[in-house]
Amino acid sequence: MSETTGSQATVTDTSASAASPLQSMPMAKALNAGLRQAMLDNPKVLLMGEDIGPLGGVFRVTEGLQAEFGVRRVTDTPLAESGIVGTAIGLAMRGYRPVCEIQFDGFVYPSFNQITSQLAKMTNRHEGQIQMPVVIRIPYGGHIGAVEHHQESPEAYFAHTSGLRVVSPSTPHDAYWMIQDAIASNDPVIFLEPKSRYWPKGDVDLSNRGAKLHSTQVAREGTEVTLLGHGAMVSVLLQAAELAAEEGTSVEVLDLRSISPIDYDPILASVRKTGRLVVAQEAPGFVSVGSEIAATVTEHAFYSLEAPVLRVAGFDAPFPPAKLETIYLPDADRVLEAVDRALAY
């Protein structure tokens, strides 16, 4: 197993051979650059999805790629998510590395049977003789004021399914490298892209991969409380950590990055240092990724904990209309309230 909507820049700007290896770019552009590099490295990499050709996708992540690589490698598909994933499975069986784009998180469910019953199980069904190097890109999460079926967090469904890898970058640098590593994986990867982070810029080192695909990383060091999240939640946790520091509380922030498998060593090391853990996510808290992490940390670091593991999550209700999303989604205030409760024990 390998572990390895704004406008986009021109092809020369996103190339790894650009003048400076360190470039500032939004995540959408970083993903575009990572996809382009993967296609240059391997002619078997194909892109498939709704409106990903001339339009470049709803979020312009694939902008310019069809013009460069042609319609046979960057293909506009019908509005049929089950057909997209089913076709990708067939292509993978013939030695290709398809990358599917699901236009919005809520649109992935028509392909759920293909993903969970076929894609996730094909390798095991054939005793390892068939590999499924398929990446399914899914913009997910809230904070953009979208309508129903356009702001959901389905990560727990896929993390629960054996045979799938599930990852989510929080920075442009991670997006650039993680998409390439996901494509290089011989296992199917659900690649969750936090849509609210598509546009903020960040530094991308085009010459230094950094962390492996399935690794938890320390985003900010601290000593009193550990905050853990993934995707767009990491920026919220960093904001909460800044506010806590103004009040004299030292908070450590961890970026989960990989939802399945989870790299627990850095999490346990941090908890043994701080004695407290707050897990935050946009998804509802019931039977969630945060629930699993809380249970595992309690099991393996019980005697290091000074307080119960606390969870901050979206409410156990369907995602609300846009005007109510700020109430539904965890913010820095809700995180800080959990920090205060953890410190009170």
- Tell me which residues are annotated as active site: 150
- DSSP summary character for residue 205: E
Quickly count: other Cβ atoms within 10 Å of residue 295's Cβ.
Answer: 11
- DSSP summary character for residue 162: T
Helices (H), the chain: 11-14, 27-41, 65-69, 81-93, 112-113, 122-125, 155-159, 172-184, 233-246, 264-274, 289-300, 325-328, 332-344
202 touches 25 (CB < 8 A): yes
Chain centroid to Cα 285, Å, comes to: 18
What is the C-alpha to C-alpha distance for residues 70 and 329, in angstroms, rounded to an integer? Answer: 40
Separation in Å, CA 82 to CA 87, 192, 203, 332: 8, 18, 36, 38
Q: What is the SS3 assignment for 115?
A: helix
